[in-house]
A and B are shown apart, each in its own frame.
Chain A
Amino acid sequence: GQNIDQPTEMTATEGAIVQINCTYQTSGFNGLFWYQQHAGEAPTFLSYNVLDGLEEKGRFSSFLSRSKGYSYLLLKELQMKDSASYLCAVRDTTDSWGKLQFGAGTQVVVTP
């Protein structure tokens, strides 16, 4: 989406930590989602933030700052299977019903 920015690609080593940043601009923010998508497969839901702060789910954590229009997804103890594209999506209520605007995705490459 044109109003959502995330890096195109990141590389990290197995066992390390990677932080994927997402910045957005919308006048009608109502939640931010992170999805994981392996090549050629469906996006799968990882996390949801609607209030400021950190949400932790096992090795994955997601942070939101609404005042800064900023979120990050933190992947800890990286495994080879974490190599995938990570999509940031913002619920935008500008058009009243709250469609999801997706970023282009960040390709994470985990190396041995």
Chain B
Amino acid sequence: DADVTQTPRNRITKTGKRIMLECSQTKGHDRMYWYRQDPGLGLRLIYYSFDVKDINKGEISDGYSVSRQAQAKFSLSLESAIPNQTALYFCATSLSGVQETQYFGPGTRLLVL
């Protein structure tokens, strides 16, 4: 079984709709992250959370919100989707410490029409 899972894997929605992307992990990691990936731009950080009571904005948080429901669950919401939010979204986890390698979920491909 995958250590980091994301649902849904693919989603098509219309402009103005609210959608939620979910991430779960069984790695026992305390830190979780949401990134988006666009062609030619690399991975960009949307939000991150160091524990259940800690939520922080990343470099491109406008138009997004998150919820850390439990140590193992971190969801990303688009309150009112717009076409330029069409992208590949990845959740990642890490264990706080010296190296803190981030491990990524399989991704959610989102298309906003």
Contacts and interface: CB of A to CB of B under 8 A. Distances in A.
Contacts of B101: 33, 45, 48
A45 B94 CA distance: 12
Interface in B35-62: 40-45, 48, 50, 58
Interface string B80-103: 000000001010000000011111
A44 interface: yes
A58 interface: no
Interface residues of A, number: 23
Interface residues of B, number: 22
B107 A45 contact: no
A76 to B, nearest CB: 23
Contacts, number: 46
Given A40-B107, A41-B107, A43-B90, A98 B100 contact: yes
A33 B42 CA distance: 14
Interface of B: 4, 40-45, 48, 50, 58, 88, 90, 99-107, 109
Interface of A: 1, 4, 31, 33, 40-45, 48, 50, 87, 89, 91, 97-100, 102-105
